[in-house]
Amino acid sequence: MDTLDSDLLRTFVAVTQAGSISDGAARIRRSQSATSLQIKRLEAILGKPVFDRHGRGVVLSETGRRLLPIAQEVTDRLDAALRDIARECVTGKLRVGIPDDHGRAKLAQIIATFSRQHPQVELDVSCALSAVFPNALQKGALDLAIYEVNLPAANEEVLFEDPTCWAASKNSAFTTCEILPVALFDQACWWRNAAISSLEERGKPYRIVYTSQSVSGVVAAVDAGIAVGLLGRSSLHSGLSIESERLGLQTSPTSKLVMAASGLPEDRPLAAMKSAIRAAFQTVT
């Protein structure tokens, strides 16, 4: 009877994270043909494809989406066991980008814990608007970054999903406003685009009365009662209410917090940091 071995699972994870066979092969330091053969071997064992091919890359099939968390857990636990048994010290330098708002406290705690566990790794942490991180990864300015997207790419691993909604202060009423006051992000990002698209679909007048670079800024404006705002449900508190239906604002996407790495081969500090972040978010209930 055929069995799944860790080598096949590791190749599957690498290709998933890279988004293509060729880039996945570079991550595990194998030829493209050898990597392709391993994926075919995995699919033969499963009897189903793990990827759907498109253009020059691949995306997970339904089978692949079911297999991915299992493959990640198996490879992460094997790597952790090797580190514990071999008692090898992880050394090197790692450049990490974390958002200045969403999950900042949690991510900062993860990085602090990582530093205690791997004191020989030199960390360079950038805390900034997450919209700049994909470009920084592409240019090689960062090794790893956490940021929010609406539609994740093949190389972006989803850590947390946060449904969005239109919110207002419980002490304010906007249903009778002829011109709806809104608070938006002032940067060109999918959050701002999604909010404006929702407002346009409503087909009624609105006015942008407040803009901010951060989630906390938009929350402050909504909390003060001067505007409604598109927010993640995790950002709501007891003083805010969900007003989407009452205002006729139905279109509201789900924000996805993702982790992505640069296209360079994965070294031990990067692998260790990814495992630490992944494990921390998997414990969230």
Range of the domain at 204: 162-254
In a domain? residue 136? yes
d(CA 263, CA 14): 11
Q: What is the mean pLDDT of residues 22-28?
A: 83
Last residue of a domain, one of 84, 116, 134: 84
> Which residue reads 């900042």 in tokens?
104
State pTM to two decimals. Answer: 0.63
- Helix (H) / strand (E) containing 138: helix 133-139
Q: What is the mean pLDDT of residues 111-131?
A: 85
pLDDT tens column, 31-41:
889 999 999 99
Q: What is the mean pLDDT of residues 3-21?
A: 89
Same domain, 60 and 120: no
Same domain, 117 and 54: no
In a domain? residue 1? no
Q: Total domain count for the chain?
A: 3
If pLDDT is split at 50, 70 and 90, which confidence band does 163 have?
very high
If pLDDT is split at 50, 70 and 90, which confidence band does 23 have?
confident
On whether the CB atoms of residues 181 and 209 are closer than 8 A, the answer is yes
On whether the CB atoms of residues 156 and 130 are closer than 8 A, the answer is no
Task: Report the pLDDT value the prediction gives residue 88, as an integer from 0 to 100.
Answer: 61
Same domain, 56 and 99: no
Q: How many CB atoms lie within 10 A of CB 262?
A: 19
Q: How many CB atoms lie within 10 A of CB 16?
A: 23
Same domain, 115 and 176: no
Same domain, 148 and 262: yes
Same domain, 224 and 260: no
Same domain, 249 and 175: yes
